[in-house]
Amino acid sequence: MSKRAIKRSKGPDKPPDLENLQVTLRYIPHDVKKCDCLKKALTRVEGVTNVEVGDIEARMTFKGDWNELTDIEYFVSQIRCKSALVDPGIFQIDFSVSRQTSTPVLVDAVQKVPGVVKVFVESGRLYVFGKILDVDPRSLQQAVKDAGFRYNGLRSHRFRTLSYEPWEAKSQLPVLRDVLLKNPAVLRVDFDEKAKTVSVLMIKDSMKDPALVTAAEEAGYTLFPGQAEPEDEPTGGLPPTPTQGGGNPVEKK
């Protein structure tokens, strides 16, 4: 039993938030073979059963609380495998107060973002749950600002916004999206056609801007560094989790 599991067992018994939740994890393989060590790591997570590991994704069944889902990414990080939950995804956002307001206002604003199913604040960090394909990180950023808080960065993923320029008039954005998504590190691609920017959500500590630029050339586009999130936090430490605190989860109605 993990140290986390031991700490939880001391708390009062209560029904878990989630029963038989189907969970999908995207990971970057160490090599061309399936990561056998990944399955072993996932089976160590309390509440995880029925693990099936594919070429770039692992599927499993989970029983437990929302905040305990972070254990999945934690245990995978212990085998030096880069990964991110995609269904449901976990967005960890750093924020600070920019005007007089309160945390409940922030939670209420973020839980109204399309695709969000769970929100809570723990240890000064905002945790947002929702399927990656359904939650636009740009909307989360705007919701935090609209609630009167300063958005300091998305710490759970690598998120970059780059300007684009097509080589030819016939170049198509769906082709650019498909090319970028071919890399297992890329989780989501969104375009702002008016501003001519592309926002790319990636597994933390994975693709850098030059790799995105090279990939876009295959689709007939040039990418230029534009508005970007602050650099990822220094590597080497364990990913922050809310499981050792009480949290104040709020589920979207």
Same domain, 114 and 62: no
CB-based contact 28:185 (threshold 8 Å): yes
Average pLDDT of 195-205? 95
Same domain, 47 and 95: no
Average pLDDT of 62-83? 93
Whether 40 is in a domain gets the answer yes
Q: How many CA atoms lie within 13 A of 177 on its CB side?
A: 12
Same domain, 95 and 81: no
Domain stop point among 53, 68, 87: 87
For residue 89, name the pLDDT band (cuts at 50, 70, 90).
very high
Q: Which residues pair with 26 in a beta bridge?
A: 57, 84
Whether 164 is in a domain gets the answer yes
Domain holding 48, by residue range, is 3-87
Residue 101 C-alpha from the chain's centroid: 26
Domain stop point among 154, 187, 208: 154
Same domain, 100 and 139: yes
Same domain, 148 and 167: no
For residue 17, name the pLDDT band (cuts at 50, 70, 90).
confident
For residue 12, name the pLDDT band (cuts at 50, 70, 90).
low
Question: pLDDT at position 34, please?
Answer: 58
Same domain, 14 and 72: yes
Question: pLDDT at position 175, please?
Answer: 95
Question: pLDDT at position 230, please?
Answer: 52
CB-based contact 35:53 (threshold 8 Å): yes
Whether 234 is in a domain gets the answer no
Question: pLDDT at position 45, please?
Answer: 95
pLDDT at position 159 over 70: yes
Same domain, 149 and 167: no
pLDDT at position 111 over 50: yes
Same domain, 7 and 65: yes
Question: pLDDT at position 93, please?
Answer: 97
pLDDT at position 244 over 50: no
∠ CA 106-112-26 to the nearest 5 degrees?
A: 95
Question: pLDDT at position 26, please?
Answer: 97
Number of domains in the chain: 3
pLDDT at position 32 over 80: no
Of 19-28, 193-202, 227-236, the one with minimum mean pLDDT is 227-236
Burial 52-68 (b: 16+ CB within 10 A, else e): ebeebebebbbebbbbb
* CATH number reported for the structural domain that contains residue 163 in this entry: 3.30.70.100
Whether 246 is in a domain gets the answer no
Same domain, 80 and 15: yes
- Helix spans in the chain (H): 3-9, 36-43, 70-77, 103-110, 137-146, 173-181, 209-217
Whether 177 is in a domain gets the answer yes
Domain stop point among 154, 169, 184: 154
For residue 51, name the pLDDT band (cuts at 50, 70, 90).
very high
Whether 250 is in a domain gets the answer no
The H-or-E segment that residue 61 falls in is strand 57-64
Same domain, 169 and 208: yes
Query: pTM score, two decimals?
Result: 0.83
What whole-number distance in Å separates Cα of residue 218 and Cα of residue 49? 40
Question: pLDDT at position 29, please?
Answer: 85
Same domain, 134 and 210: no
* Percent of the chain whose predicted confidence (pLDDT) is above 90: 71
For residue 5, name the pLDDT band (cuts at 50, 70, 90).
very low
